[in-house]
Amino acid sequence: MSKPDLKPGQAPCEVSDLEPVAADVPKVVEFREVKKTYTTPGKPDFTSIEGVTFAVEDIPGVGEFIPILGPSGCGKSTVLRIIAGLPPHFPHTSGEVLVKDIPVSHPGPDRGMVFQDYANFPHLTVQDNVALGLDFADRPEKERRELSLEWIAKVGLDPKRDARKYPHELSGGMNQRVAIARTLIMQPRIILMDEPFGALDPVTRHRMQDLLVNLWRELEATVFFVTHDVAEAVFLGERIYIMSRSPGHILHQLRVTPPDAPSMETQKEKSFQDSVNAVKALLDPLED
């Protein structure tokens, strides 16, 4: 595995090898030589990922934040959706995908997914959108009402003013807050986010990054976060995976300093910019 020219102490970013996690250690997510090939009659087979291997140790009360970067089409969404158990990416063609050391066989409440296009239900109010998972889980009415109002507040919306609004009455940032609340209200052990802030303006994006850091600390969940924005990955991440060109596998693993100040402030610091440049130096050659 190649390493960039980073001098010790130059920046809070360190490229390390993907250290194997001992077989007898519990893992929250593990991929072993995972491959996905699409077979369409009359067309050549297409392999979107190949040899994807990584393991995230399961430490009680600790959730890691893991951004995934890589060139367009390398298979980032594929990896996320295989963890989630969502077709057509799931099932994979070969290799092993384990969540809590059990092979993934279908989606489950232990894994929550947030997409770029928020996927709120247009005919449901904010509160009903947020409470949807609780409805499916048949939780009592009182609990649904109270918890959904609590989560509306947690994601920075106003329970009094916003709960009865419909998605078309909300800005992009507010819609994404609703989608995040709908996923996190179920307290998943694993949160899968596919370019969730890709459609937001820069100011809203910084606010959402700060919100996410706070919610993540409270939930102690493991987050896999696909993004194209290197600064966002360096700000949010503790370890970053960089995927190779298609068919993708994990090419580099980086250790970065977890966030300890608001996004906007942190991103102005020289050491932060040095880290971003070091990551870009690894990524740029992978883009066409």
Ligand X SMILES: Nc1ncnc2c1ncn2[C@@H]1O[C@H](COP(=O)(O)OP(=O)(O)O)[C@@H](O)[C@H]1O
What SS3 class is residue 55?
Answer: strand
* Binder of ligand X out of 29, 30, 55, 75 (CB under 6 A): 75
Q: Which is nearer to ligand X, 93 or 187 (CB)?
A: 93
* Binder of ligand X out of 46, 96, 136, 164 (CB under 6 A): 46
For residue 195, the minimal CB distance to ligand X (Å) is: 8
For residue 49, the minimal CB distance to ligand X (Å) is: 7
Q: Does 223 bind ligand X (CB under 6 A)?
A: no
Per CB under 6 A, which of residues 151..170 are in contact with ligand X? none
CA distance 178 to 211: 13
User: Rounded to the nearest 5°, which phi and psi values hold at 96?
Assistant: -125, 135
User: Rounded to the nearest 5°, which phi and psi values hold at 35?
Assistant: -135, 145
Beta pairing class for 94-99 and 102-103: antiparallel
**Cβ–Cβ < 8 Å for 190, 83:** yes
Q: Does 136 bind ligand X (CB under 6 A)?
A: no
Number of neighbours of residue 168 by Cβ within 10 angstroms: 8
The enclosing H or E element of 50 equals strand 46-57
CA distance 129 to 132: 5
Q: Does 87 bind ligand X (CB under 6 A)?
A: no
Q: Does 88 bind ligand X (CB under 6 A)?
A: yes
* Binder of Mg ion out of 28, 34, 48, 77 (CB under 5 A): 77
Q: Does 183 bind Mg ion (CB under 5 A)?
A: no
For residue 43, the minimal CB distance to ligand X (Å) is: 9
Q: Does 92 bind ligand X (CB under 6 A)?
A: no
For residue 105, the minimal CB distance to ligand X (Å) is: 20
Q: Residue 9 has what DSSP assignment? A: T
Q: Following CA atoms 164, 167, 170, 172 in sequence, which dihedral angle do they give, to the nearest 10 degrees? A: 150
**Cβ–Cβ < 8 Å for 202, 234:** no
Q: Does 76 bind ligand X (CB under 6 A)?
A: yes
* Binder of ligand X out of 74, 97, 212, 242 (CB under 6 A): 74
**266 contact partners, CB below 8 Å, separation of at least 6:** 235, 259, 260, 272
Q: Which is nearer to ligand X, 71 or 133 (CB)?
A: 71
Q: Which is nearer to Mg ion, 115 or 166 (CB)?
A: 115
Q: Following CA atoms 271, 273, 275, 277 in sequence, which dihedral angle do they give, to the nearest 10 degrees? A: -140
Q: Which is nearer to ligand X, 48 or 120 (CB)?
A: 48
For residue 223, the minimal CB distance to ligand X (Å) is: 17
For residue 245, the minimal CB distance to ligand X (Å) is: 10
Q: Does 246 bind ligand X (CB under 6 A)?
A: yes
Q: Is 228 exposed, middle or buried (0-12, 13-18, 19+ CB in 10 A)?
A: middle
**Beta-bridge partners for 85:** none
Q: Does 148 bind Mg ion (CB under 5 A)?
A: no
Q: Does 227 bind ligand X (CB under 6 A)?
A: no
Q: Does 209 bind Mg ion (CB under 5 A)?
A: no
**Cβ–Cβ < 8 Å for 26, 58:** yes
* Binder of ligand X out of 72, 94, 171, 214 (CB under 6 A): 72
Binding site for ligand X (CB under 6 A): 38, 46, 48, 70, 72-78, 88, 246
